[in-house]
Structure 1
Amino acid sequence: MPAITRRSLVPLAAGLGTAASAATAAAPAWPNQAVRFICPFAAGGPTDVAARLVAESLTGLLPQRVLVENRTGSGVVVGTEAVAKSPADGYTILYSTIAHAVLRPLFSNLNFDPVADFQPVALVGVVPMLLMVNNAVPARDLQQLIAMFRDKPNQYTYGSSGAGGAVHLATELFLQQAGKLKVNHIPYRGSAPAMPDLLNGNLTMFLNVASDGIASVQRGTTRGLAVSSTERLPQLPDVPTFAEAGLPGYEAYTWHTLFAPANTPPEIVNQLNEAVNKVTRQPALLQRFRDLSIQARSDSTPASATAWLQAEMSKWEPLVRAANITVQ
């Protein structure tokens, strides 16, 4: 067998380098298979509907299909953990909401880190809240409602779609900022069961996602007192913002964000981000979003989505702890 010398290794090294370059060049571009959005909410709910709209639009833009898989359990924990522990290859993506920002204070035994184990891809859109009261409530505006709650602590009620959810958080923020008002919380299994109780007078107030309350205010079956965004809703031009109604600084949304597992290659994250921004500019998707009261954010970047998450966690985590909010 001939001796191996340094000189004989030179062509071998060159050959290996050529082979590596060829292998790199031949690596398939993302995506070369279907992409899954894991939605940790039930099928048919508002988050699921939005996720499917985005997935459908992306399927028309990307060379592969984008599918939505509902994976529920322990709030959003089961679905979120599944993404955290998935390969960081861009084929398993989390489609989640404000629920991601309060995982740490609500669940003490998580098997993943909501920050370290994820890379925010894009803030898809935000959904404002609409404060409604039943028509028997004498308060005609927000200040009168606040005065009513202040004068009779623990004599009135508000509903939520569940403990620790966006509606609960937004309402607690309102009560705290309005002077640490004491109003009894009645949690429901979703928003739908709460609306009849608001209509028949069993609930005093419901600060619900706007899409679920606009129709009742338009019909006059409930009274809208304020919206939680910085601008009025086009569907309800006569309902003021909280700031206009005398509570400056109050702003609350639920929101839709895509998260990839940590260490997903930046080129994949950026490609998905660009694709999401493109589809959220499409007139057809924008119209469907308006129907759901989702305000699209078609200029989001991974960096701005990360900053948004950090700001939301800084806002909501202390509130959860101060209000002693727990989940069953």
Structure 2
Amino acid sequence: MIHRRSLLGAAAAAPLLPSMAHSQESRAPESWPSGPVRIICPFAAGGPTDVMARLVADALSAELSQRFIVENRTGSGVVVGTEAVAKAPKDGSTFLYSTVAHSVLRPLFANLSFDPVRDFQPVALVGVIPMLLMVNKEVPAENLRELVQMFQRDPGKYNYGSSGNGGAVHLATELFLHQAGGLKVNHVPYRGSAPAMPDLLNGNLSMMLNVASDGVASVQRGATRGLAISSSKRMPQLPDVPTFNESGLPGYEAYTWHMLFAPAGTPAPIVRRLNQAANKVMGDERMRRRVDEMTMEPRSDTTPDTAAQWLAAEMAKWEPLVRAANITPN
């Protein structure tokens, strides 16, 4: 309670009221457990997903005055880390930071000990990253149409690289090949995008539809040729690379996305507060500048319900493709 001892005292206190109210809003709910909150990232430390997870964790720590720490749990794709969250206490002490990989767990792994829908509560969509189609400099195709014609003339002659079976790069490429008329191009999986890029540069791979953040630099310096970007508009970093829609393949949409999940049954006030905090930090101009460097389009407008709808739409899109293309995790 503010005691009105004098008009001067009241006037002095007035400017402090907004910041006091903001402090109250920024605090975690009373039901939040004490101690650090774990965000489990089922990807390797130092990779782009891990880097983004740590940016988000640091921002949430500052916003909620609650320490968030990232813990990397890798193995069997994203299964080990995701399973750890599914079986974690439902008290707000543990969350999952995952990607489009979450949407293809069911068709890739027949004997999961958890259900990627039933055992999780989507909290917030953090952002989306488009995919960049690149070819090595020796490929004669100068645009997407010429590349498709090249593949049509010689089915099975060319190859493409990916970051691994069932990953975002693999899925995006298979969708492109399917929508372009069922093109036959050989798949060469790697353990991540980084080891695949040298083979694209030296000509061992003809094409790679990589996460844009991992391919922009090579196109900018002329080491590879960018033919199309999967976003709805051209990227500022690559203004001369057209979209798939501009290149004659309308309706093609592929990207990786980042999302925060809670174990199903986590108290609703905690889920709502973390959603609000995630939206706020992703809408911050400083964060937007940081993620722009990673070619991510930040999202600051989702609710737990709309995040769940996003996941459902992605699963409806990718699960049939995984089955039709006979994609396996190994």
Provide the secondary structure at the position in 2 that maps to 1:325: coil
Specify the alignment match of 1:83 in structure 2.
Answer: 85
Question: How far apart are the structure 1 equivalents of 2:31 and 2:327?
Answer: 45
Specify the alignment match of 1:52 in structure 2.
Answer: 54
Structure 2 counterpart of 1:142, from 135, 144, 158: 144
Question: How far apart are the structure 2 equivalents of 1:46 and 1:37?
Answer: 15
Structure 2: 5+ residue stretches without partners? 1-28
Provide the secondary structure at the position in 1 that maps to 2:193: coil
For the 8 Å contact 2:31–2:270, the answer to whether it is kept is: no
Q: Which amino acid aligns with 1:251?
A: E
Count of matched residue positions in the alignment of Structure 1 and Structure 2 = 302
**TM-score, normalised to structure 2's length?**
0.90
1:252 equivalent to 2:254? Answer yes
Specify the alignment match of 1:320 in structure 2.
Answer: 322
**TM-score, normalised to structure 1's length?**
0.91
Q: Give how far 1:234 is off.
A: 1.0
With 169-178 and 233-242 compared, the bigger mean Cα shift is at 233-242
Q: Which amino acid aligns with 2:77?
A: G
Question: How far apart are the structure 2 equivalents of 1:179 and 1:291?
Answer: 34
Structure 1: 5+ residue stretches without partners? 1-26
Question: How far apart are the structure 1 equivalents of 2:44 and 2:137?
Answer: 31
Question: How far apart are the structure 1 equivalents of 2:242 and 2:33?
Answer: 45
Question: How far apart are the structure 1 equivalents of 2:292 and 2:48?
Answer: 13
Larger Rg: 1
Question: How far apart are the structure 1 equivalents of 2:286 and 2:102?
Answer: 28
Q: Which amino acid aligns with 1:281?
A: G
Structure 1 counterpart of 2:201, from 196, 199, 202: 199
Q: Give how far 1:31 is off.
A: 5.1
Specify the alignment match of 2:282 in structure 1.
Answer: 280
1:234 equivalent to 2:236? Answer yes
Question: How far apart are the structure 2 equivalents of 1:235 and 1:311?
Answer: 29
For the 8 Å contact 1:31–1:63, the answer to whether it is kept is: no
Specify the alignment match of 1:116 in structure 2.
Answer: 118
Show CA shifts across 1:271-290 (max 9, x none).
00000001001122111111
Question: How far apart are the structure 2 equivalents of 1:64 and 1:296?
Answer: 22
Provide the secondary structure at the position in 1 that maps to 2:283: coil
Q: Give how far 1:90 is off.
A: 1.1
Q: Give how far 1:264 is off.
A: 1.0
Specify the alignment match of 1:151 in structure 2.
Answer: 153
Structure 2 counterpart of 1:42, from 16, 39, 44: 44
Provide the secondary structure at the position in 2 that maps to 1:192: helix
For the 8 Å contact 1:32–1:63, the answer to whether it is kept is: no
Q: Give how far 1:33 is off.
A: 2.4
For the 8 Å contact 2:159–2:185, the answer to whether it is kept is: yes
For the 8 Å contact 1:155–1:183, the answer to whether it is kept is: yes
Q: Give how far 1:198 is off.
A: 0.8
4+ residue segments displaced more than 4 Å: none
Question: How far apart are the structure 1 equivalents of 2:296 and 2:90?
Answer: 29
Specify the alignment match of 2:187 in structure 1.
Answer: 185
For the 8 Å contact 1:31–1:64, the answer to whether it is kept is: no
Provide the secondary structure at the position in 1 that maps to 2:176: helix
Give the RMSD, CA atoms, in angstroms.
1.0
For the 8 Å contact 1:131–1:224, the answer to whether it is kept is: yes
Question: How far apart are the structure 1 equivalents of 2:75 and 2:104?
Answer: 16
Question: How far apart are the structure 2 equivalents of 1:63 and 1:47?
Answer: 24
Question: How far apart are the structure 1 equivalents of 2:75 and 2:140?
Answer: 40
Specify the alignment match of 1:62 in structure 2.
Answer: 64
